[in-house]
Amino acid sequence: MDQKRLDWTNTLFLAFSHLMAVAGIVWLSLHWNWSIALLAMLWFALCGLSITGGYHRLFSHPTYKAIAPLRAFYLLFGAASVQNSALKWSADHRIHHKYTDKEEDPYNIRKGFWWAHIGWVLFQTPKIEQSIVDDLEKDALVRNQNRFYVLWALMGGVILPLVAGALAGDWIGGLLVVGFLRLVVQWHATFSINSVAHCVGTQPYDTSGSPRDSWITAILTLGEGYHNFHHRFAGDYRNGIRWFHLDPTKWFVWSMSKVGVTRDLRKVSEEAIQRAKESVQKQRAVRDA
């Protein structure tokens, strides 16, 4: 995989976090605490929503607008997911969409499953042209989180879990389980979109690249698994477009629009979706003829 330089900060932190997650499993097995287990699940949901609804569908693809308190919530719990600042995450993701499956794609599946899943995080990446996120730099909250990212991450991923754990009578469980075990599980759930969702599933809307729709990854990521649709229609605030598609992020964004917290939700027309499906069906008919 080319002559890339190891990113020691990322590599050591990922290794340390996985060790702490193992410690969290041991601690929870020896000191079971329902409050800690429920807090970990709550943190997983809040952080997951902040990545899917915030980092992805609001910042990377401005598919809707949100008031400042919700944006701050996304930035706090997004930082707690330790996947970089919203600005850097969005820049990487926009490059991924622009160059899907090509050399420039940061998590190019053509370089292998494990490269797309986690390998790319372990190596230094070329400096991204900041013009690709000029729109995000106009947001003072996004700029602040990018500048003081470590502080945001420590607050959401360490200090608040410690405090919540202490209130539940187990500050060690708060740190190890709510903080690190939750974090590692979340990493691999998110990473599955870069790896599993580019290998497993169907391609009803576009067959020109690797992205696929998969209900399995949708379960892991609060609805992000309908990846073939997303790559074909990245400007839609939804990933799962049918009533039976599991997409809690879509339901949250839609619900918030009813109370004025979100607005200007963007949706692609049914006609455009149908045309895409028909185009794929014709391509397959010609191929199989």
Tens of pLDDT, residues 66-95? 999 999 999 999 999 999 999 999 999 999
pLDDT at 1 over 50: no
Contact indicator for 188, 172 with CB cutoff of 8 Å: no
Tell me which range, 3-7, 71-75, 103-107, 219-223, is most confidently predicted by mean pLDDT.
71-75
- The per-residue pLDDT of the chain, averaged, comes to 95
- For residues 229-250, give the mean pLDDT: 96
Closest CA to 118 of 16, 194, 27, 12: 194
Whole-number Å distance between alpha carbons of 102 and 280: 22
Residue by residue, DSSP assigns 118-159 as TGGGGB--PPPPGGGGTTGGG-HHHHHHHHTHHHHHHIIIII
Decide which of 287 and 206 is more confident.
206
Closest CA to 274 of 213, 223, 233, 237: 233
How many DSSP H helices and E strands does the chain contain? 14, 2
Determine the pLDDT at residue 3.
64
Whole-number Å distance between alpha carbons of 249 and 184: 21
Residues in a beta bridge with 202: 213
Q: Give the number of other Cβ atoms within 10 Å of residue 28's Cβ.
A: 18
Q: Which 3 state secondary structure label does DSSP give 226?
A: strand
Provide the residue count of the chain.
289
- For residues 36-41, give the mean pLDDT: 98
φ/ψ region of 84 (left if φ > 0, alpha if ψ in -120 to 50, else beta) reads: left
CA angle 40, 43, 47 (to 5 degrees): 140
Whole-number Å distance between alpha carbons of 79 and 85: 6
Domain residue spans of the chain: 8-288
Q: What does the block give as tokens for 97?
A: 């969409």
Task: For residue range 196-212, list pLDDT tens digits in order.
Answer: 999 999 999 999 999 99
Question: What are the distances in angstroms from CA 29 to CA 24, 39, 174, 249?
Answer: 8, 16, 14, 31
pLDDT at 39 over 50: yes
What is the pTM (predicted TM-score) of this model?
0.95
> What does residue 202 show for φ and ψ, rounded to 5 degrees?
-110, 165
Residues in a beta bridge with 263: 65
Q: What does the block give as tokens for 110?
A: 């053509």
